[in-house]
């Protein structure tokens, strides 16, 4: 019989690509991962991995078993959810990861409407929360990009507009509204590669007919505003700007924010209560 715990190790290897990375995600040593995978091969009765030096990749049988692992692990999550539903379900701890402004505006405020449920919150920028969710490190991810996957369930939370941040001496700094096309020749400060906000900024500029001339990069909005003071321009989410600091865009740019859970955990009473609270606050 195949041990479900070893299926989780196989799934982690498929997700992360190397034994070392899979071990890091599961808090196991590389040798422990290798031992679990070797035992899984014995249980399956087929070669699941091909090895060459330190490189490891899945055989067709390994890829097929990894796909079945998704269904098996989701069913185990659902079983836990069902059992939890038999209990009171009103107290417990739920682990949430979100980016900084979502923590400030939504997650921290949700705690006030969750008596009996303790939130354990982690700051995770960009898409970093989704691997944490799939690896079982957290129960809910608040992220700005909805990822279509049978392994995940998503709930829309809110949409947020971006405003232009301009240096005080800029010719358009006193305007109530700005057209992005008028900023085509300015130097820009944008988020780092891999941050979904960078994609929002880039797409807004491309829609306006230009590629931003990137001079600075930072994921920190306070740092971005400091660099704006030196002469660059930026697009920053409205909730991250000090009052009166931003200028509205004639053609709005926005981000959409979702609460993501593992598909099998979506009906867990504690997880479902947290998602409802996030929706209520948002």
Are residue 34 and residue 150 in the same domain, yes or no? no
Are residue 100 and residue 222 in the same domain, yes or no? no
User: pLDDT per residue over 129-164, tens digit each?
Assistant: 988 998 899 999 999 866 678 889 999 999 989 999
Instruction: Give the pair of three-digit tokens for residue 190.
Output: 């944008």
Percent of the chain with pLDDT strictly greater than 70: 94
The CATH number of residue 20's host domain is: 1.10.10.10
Are residue 54 and residue 8 in the same domain, yes or no? yes
Q: What is the DSSP string of 112-125?
A: GG-TTEEEEEEE--
* Sign of the four-CA dihedral 117, 120, 126, 132: negative
Number of other residues whose CB lies within 10 A of the CB of residue 211: 10
Are residue 30 and residue 96 in the same domain, yes or no? no
pTM recorded for the entire structure = 0.69
What is the total count of domains within the chain? 3
SS3 219: coil
The whole-number average pLDDT for the span 40-59 is 81
Q: What is the DSSP string of 91-109?
A: SEEEEEEE-HHHIIIIIHH
Give the bridge partners for 229, in sequence order: none
Round the average pLDDT of the chain to a whole number and report it: 88
Are residue 270 and residue 136 in the same domain, yes or no? yes
**CA–CA distance, 151 with 250 (Å, rounded to integer):** 38
- Per the model's pLDDT, the better-predicted residue between 185 and 73 turns out to be 185
Are residue 72 and residue 132 in the same domain, yes or no? no
The CATH number of residue 177's host domain is: 3.40.190.290
Which residues span the domain enclosing 217?
159-255
**pLDDT of 93 over the 70 cut:** yes
**pLDDT of 194 over the 70 cut:** yes
Are residue 78 and residue 16 in the same domain, yes or no? yes
- Going by the DSSP 8-state scheme, the letter that residue 242 receives in this structure is P
Least confident among 17-21, 208-212, 275-279: 17-21
Are residue 152 and residue 270 in the same domain, yes or no? yes
pLDDT of residue 50: 84
- The contacts of residue 40 (CB under 8 Å, 6+ apart) are 2, 3, 6, 7, 9, 10, 48, 65
Q: What DSSP element (H or E) covers 163?
A: strand 152-165
CA 101 to chain centre: 13
Are residue 249 and residue 186 in the same domain, yes or no? yes
User: pLDDT per residue over 96-120, tens digit each?
Assistant: 999 888 998 899 999 998 888 889 9
pLDDT of residue 223: 96
pLDDT of residue 165: 95
């Amino acid at each position: 019989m195949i041990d479900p715990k070893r299926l989780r190790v196989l799934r982690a290897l498929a997700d992360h690509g190397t034994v070392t990375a899979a071990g890091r995600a599961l808090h196991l040593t590389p040798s422990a991962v290798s031992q679990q995978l070797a035992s899984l091969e014995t249980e399956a009765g087929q070669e699941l991995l091909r090895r060459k030096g330190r490189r490891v990749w899945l055989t067709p049988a390994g890829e097929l078993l990894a796909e079945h692992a998704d269904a098996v692990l989701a069913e185990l999550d659902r079983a836990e959810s069902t059992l939890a539903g038999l209990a009171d379900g009103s107290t417990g701890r739920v682990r949430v990861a979100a980016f900084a402004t979502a923590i400030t505006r939504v997650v921290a405020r949700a705690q006030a409407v969750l008596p009996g449920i303790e939130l354990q919150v982690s700051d995770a920028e960009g898409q970093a929360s989704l691997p944490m969710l799939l690896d079982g490190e957290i129960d809910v991810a608040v992220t700005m990009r909805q990822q279509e996957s049978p392994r995940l369930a998503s709930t829309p939370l809110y949409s947020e507009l971006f405003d232009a941040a301009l240096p005080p001496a800029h010719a358009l700094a006193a305007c109530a509204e700005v057209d992005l096309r008028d900023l085509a020749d300015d130097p820009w400060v944008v988020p780092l590669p891999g941050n979904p906000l960078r994609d929002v900024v880039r797409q807004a500029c491309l829609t306006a007919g230009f590629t931003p001339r990137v001079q600075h990069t930072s994921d920190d909005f306070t740092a971005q505003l400091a660099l704006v003071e030196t002469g660059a321009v930026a697009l920053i989410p409205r909730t991250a700007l000090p009052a009166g600091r931003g200028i509205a865009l004639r053609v709005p740019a926005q981000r959409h924010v979702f609460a993501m859970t593992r598909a099998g955990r979506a009906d867990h009473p504690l997880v479902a209560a947290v998602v409802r609270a996030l929706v209520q606050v948002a």
